[in-house]
Structure 1
């Protein structure tokens, strides 16, 4: 893989951009791998697994508000100011939760929702800059390195809850946000200065939050590529949410104790991230070279469908944990790379506003849809809830494969090529 850098000559500016983008992904992912096990474990301890669907539903209005504000103020404030506002909010909220969560337990509910929103906003900003700088030719292997660096950050970050949650307490791990985000800020400024983005990506028209949100929707409707990306994200997150709920249910029933759950989640995610890093640095590039992006978009849901069938045939905590690990590993590596590659030929408007709507709002909407399914089943089923969810997951993947085949045939080859290459 290192020979790829010698075969493609990069300028000093391009090298700095690549290093900066990799560091950004590293620090964003490291923070999330600490916050996620903590917030999940605290939530299960306080509210129980059955309340997860309510949290996912409540997150939608907040997502809708934040993405509208993001799209409205991006043209006015610019990439750097928007980043500083979001990053400052993350540090302030996480530290407030660390200090006050034992006295105000409702903050557990808010932290669980908040961490899912801010991680998407951070990656949205980073990937929009990457898309505007990296050509399709270079993206086929550079994206693997960008995600690989993020995977390493996630892997190292997961070691803290995986091995220190019991010793220091879950809440204390929230204090790691500040040092990580100080490093992230330096890396983000470096990346932005060396990119083709900067202020040139700012959109001139001034829109209200509602108009900006609707503008993102119009962009998606008018583009086959964006429609396909949007549907892929919906299917992926719907299936991931169902598997996530199944894993959390077994976790609550099998492991007792807040810090022990935090530790177990950290270690499970660490295993999945180890697989993901190998895929990001090596496997995904060769898969794209051998199969192409279109075939992978059809083959990926087939693979996940087989995993769901395995979980249906052999139910239990062990096999559900295995499926959870493999799904997360594929989501963080293969799916992300082939999805992000489709953004490259699009306009700056589509890369920022449409992408923000898809990656933030539609991501949450999929969780709401999954939540409604789970809540409906909870009302009529008790002991058979998990087997039914396995069956629904299989149906989701079958539908995904059918729609992927249909839409990819409709899309012109020119829509998948970099117009600036």
Structure 2
């Protein structure tokens, strides 16, 4: 019965019959995970602004790097200990438990939201921010590392758009519900309503874990190989590892293996460059919008409603792009040309903003950049990881995406801290010029990545097999 239902749904998007269960469960998993993020991110922004203060957002982004490094090292060890799907279980369960701890603090009459004082001493605001930064850093990376390891480039071009469509639908539903629940509540109800939505995210993460369980149970193993050349290489490496004698030096080196691979491999550094250019850009634009939003909303509830409406609109636009743009563009233009779309559109938006530097234009910029990234740029970038080794897909990816994303946000936040001393108009224009420079660098990196990917896939080789 389950098979027949899935077949009817996915036949509408021309999904091959043998891949329908896998595509369905991956889309469902990403739906639950993204639905959680659509609740938690507005809560993070609003609660931090109304406990610690929105002006400290750049500082929090920099401090979160310190919090993230030990998590990355531990994750690198988990890659050696656990199987691919078990890594996803570990991520989901860890953050579900963390959510319960945070909930206990948020409902506390002194430490939680019932206390409406604002200041740097409000550790619950800092804790909320760091926990959510951990979730945001590992959420996308954990899902896509797993998806990249069980799909080949052809599957990715055809089906990655469906995974993103699932995420957009989930995000729209939860962001919409969050908006409806917080749009009209009074300040006195914030401490009752907001923590309950935090718990909803916890439940959704457990649903994602159940979805992965059913996929592993019902999808045949031979449909989980992914890029065959990588699969065969990793099988051979596993056999060699079983024979390898214990080495204390290797034990110490293992947690940093991803960082070493990233530094040694120009291809991985190029992907890191794409992450850096995007994250610095979005941090600059988002900070400007956050400051304006905080000034115009008095309570955490009303500010949460504002951010929820933003995420709803962003995901609605993203869903439209996903259904009618992502898969058709990848099939029509190919991966190489599709990589150019995001920086070119960004340049166009920034030029328009220079001539019309209004609050509404900046909001349009933020919605457009986020939507394009999640719906088109991110899934296209993920295809670059498919013909790579497990060390790159999981360990190096943790450094390029999780740490690299937070590191890039730290750079963007440092720019915001330095430039916020300028007059508002000068601050805005200086940041827009920085973004144009980043997009120029982006356009310079794309040809190298696209040509390398094409060559490796054509020759049925693996990127990273020669890096020790």
The two structures have a TM-score, normalised by structure 2, of 0.81
TM-superposed CA distance for 1:303, in Å, is 0.8
Q: Structure 2: which 5+ runs fail to align?
A: 1-8, 112-121, 186-191, 463-468
Structure with bigger gyration radius: 2
- 1:329 aligns with 371
**Map of 2:57 onto structure 1:** 52
- Write the mapping of 1:204-223 to structure 2, written as runs, cut at 5 A: 204=241, 211-223=253-265
Match of 1:48, SS state, is helix
Q: Is the alpha carbon distance of 1:386 and 1:125 closer, same or farther for their aligned partners in structure 2, counting shifts above 3 Å?
A: same
Contact 2:279-2:409 within 8 A present in 1 as well: yes
1:182-216 per-position Cα deviation (integer Å, ceiling 9, x unaligned): 21111122234436369978964888786234321
Instruction: Please give the alpha-carbon distance, in whole angstroms, between the structure 2 residues aligned to 1:318 and 1:398.
Output: 25
For the residue of structure 1 that corresponds to 2:211, the secondary structure is helix
1:180 maps to which residue? 204
Which residue is equivalent to 1:415? 456
Shift of the 2–179 alpha-carbon distance from structure 1 to 2, 3 Å rule, reads closer
Change (3 A) 1:420 1:19: farther
Please state how far the C-alpha of 1:326 moved relative to its aligned partner: 0.6
* Distance of 1:294 and 1:17 partners within structure 2: 26
Matched, 1:315 2:320: no
Q: How far did residue 274 of structure 1 move?
A: 0.6
Task: Specify the alignment match of 2:17 in structure 1.
Answer: 10
User: How far did 1:288 drift?
Assistant: 1.8
Corresponding residue for residue 34 of structure 2: 29
Judged with a 3 Å threshold, the aligned counterparts in structure 2 of structure 1 residues 209 and 49 are, in CA distance, closer, same or farther, namely farther
> Map of 1:253-292 to 2, 5 A cutoff?
253-292=295-334
Gaps of 5+ in 1: none
1:243 aligned residue: 285
SS at match of 1:89: helix
Q: How many pairs does the alignment contain? A: 417
1:62 and 1:130 map into 2 onto residues whose CA distance is 27
- The answer to whether 1:397 aligns with 2:439 is yes
Measured at CA, do residues 179 and 2 of structure 1 come closer, stay the same or move farther in structure 2, by a change above 3 Å? Answer: closer
Aligned residue among 47, 60, 65 for 2:70: 65
* Matched ranges for 1:148-167 at <5 A: 148-165=165-182, 166-167=184-185
SS of equivalent residue, structure 1 residue 134: coil
In structure 2, the partner of 1:131 is 148
Tell me the TM-score normalised to structure 1 length.
Answer: 0.90
Q: Distance in 2 between matches of 1:208 and 1:238?
A: 34
Task: Give the whole-Å Cα distance in 1 for the aligned partners of 2:314 and 2:371.
Answer: 5
CA-based RMSD of the aligned residues comes to 2.8
The verdict on how the C-alpha distance between 1:418 and 1:65 changes in structure 2, with shifts beyond 3 A counting, is farther
Cα separation, 1, equivalents of 2:459 and 2:392: 14
Counterpart for residue 466 of structure 2? none
Please give the secondary structure, in 2, of the residue aligned with 1:47: helix
The 1:305/1:334 distance shift into structure 2, 3 A limit, reads: same
Instruction: Confirm or deny that 1:347 pairs with 2:389.
Output: yes
Does the residue aligned with 2:339 lie in a helix, a strand or coil? helix
Per-residue CA deviation, residues 331-358 of structure 1 (Å, 9 max, x unaligned), is 1111111101111111222211111221
